């Protein structure tokens, strides 16, 4: 309640409080005091001392050097032919032998007939051989010899397939000829 009385007194006598001003001498003293105590102004600058920048540069140079060293030591990708020559030097001779034999058998087969199923089977073997050559490029050490052996087996399979087909065709021709001879003998 006293507070209410105080507020009421201030409100009624406000004009008496507002007419008093501090002396100019007081204001001059306040100004002098403020001028003497200048508030230091901090400049905002990044807090990166030179040694942090130097450390970052050293790390980048070290990473670049290690990366270059790693790339320099990485084995260069060999072509499939070079890789085959390195793994199995005799493969080139074996491959040439089988290719020559396969071409000769295929030429004989083509002179008899052209069967799309046989061509599809031969194309499937060729596709498998191409996949084996690609796999050889990515093969882990120790697996290369097995892939080379599979390539040789594929050539062998292709040659055996053509020889079997030629054998069947030749047997059919022999049977056809003998049947025709028997029919001619009866007619005579």
Task: Establish if 33 belongs to a structural domain.
Answer: no
pLDDT tens, residue by residue, 90-119: 878 888 888 899 889 888 888 877 778 888
Say what the pLDDT of residue 185 is: 58
Out of 65-79, 94-108, 173-187, the most confident range is 94-108
Task: Establish if 7 belongs to a structural domain.
Answer: no
pLDDT tens, residue by residue, 113-139: 777 888 888 888 889 888 888 887 887
Task: Establish if 59 belongs to a structural domain.
Answer: no
Task: Establish if 21 belongs to a structural domain.
Answer: no
- Domain of 86 in residue numbering reads as 80-187
Nearest C-alpha neighbor of 168 from the set 124, 108, 125, 99: 108
Task: Establish if 115 belongs to a structural domain.
Answer: yes
> What's the rounded Cα separation, in Å, for the pair 155 and 99?
8
H or E, element range at 37: none
Task: Establish if 42 belongs to a structural domain.
Answer: no
Task: Establish if 36 belongs to a structural domain.
Answer: no
CA diameter of the chain: 160
> What's the rounded Cα separation, in Å, for the pair 7 and 77?
95
Q: Which structure tokens are listed for 75?
A: 């084995």
Average pLDDT, stretch 18-44? Answer: 72
Task: Give 39 or 68, the one with higher predicted confidence.
Answer: 68
Q: How confident is the model at residue 26 (pLDDT cuts 50, 70, 90)?
A: confident
How many structural domains is the chain composed of?
Answer: 1
Task: Give 49 or 58, the one with higher predicted confidence.
Answer: 58
Q: How many residues does the chain have?
A: 188
> What's the rounded Cα separation, in Å, for the pair 151 and 139?
14
Q: Enter the pTM of the model.
A: 0.51
Task: Establish if 51 belongs to a structural domain.
Answer: no
Burial of 176 per CB tally in 10 Å (0-12, 13-18, 19+): exposed
Nearest C-alpha neighbor of 136 from the set 124, 146, 127: 146
């Amino acid at each position: 309640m006293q507070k209410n009385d105080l507020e009421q007194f201030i409100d009624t006598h406000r004009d008496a409080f507002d007419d008093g001003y501090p002396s100019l001498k007081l204001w001059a003293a306040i100004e002098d005091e403020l001028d003497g105590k200048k508030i230091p102004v901090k400049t905002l600058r990044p807090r990166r001392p030179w040694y942090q920048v130097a450390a970052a540069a050293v790390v980048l140079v070290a990473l670049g050097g290690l990366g270059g060293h790693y790339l320099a030591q990485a084995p260069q990708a060999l072509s499939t032919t070079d890789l085959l020559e390195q793994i199995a030097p005799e493969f080139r001779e074996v491959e040439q032998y089988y290719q020559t034999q396969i071409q000769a058998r295929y030429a004989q087969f083509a002179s008899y007939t052209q069967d799309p199923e046989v061509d599809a089977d031969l194309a499937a073997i060729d596709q498998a051989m191409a996949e084996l050559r690609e796999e050889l490029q990515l093969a882990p050490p120790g697996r290369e010899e097995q892939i080379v052996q599979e390539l040789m087996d594929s050539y062998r399979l292709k040659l055996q397939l053509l020889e079997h087909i030629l054998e069947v065709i030749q047997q059919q021709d022999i049977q056809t000829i003998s049947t025709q001879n028997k029919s001619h003998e009866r007619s005579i």
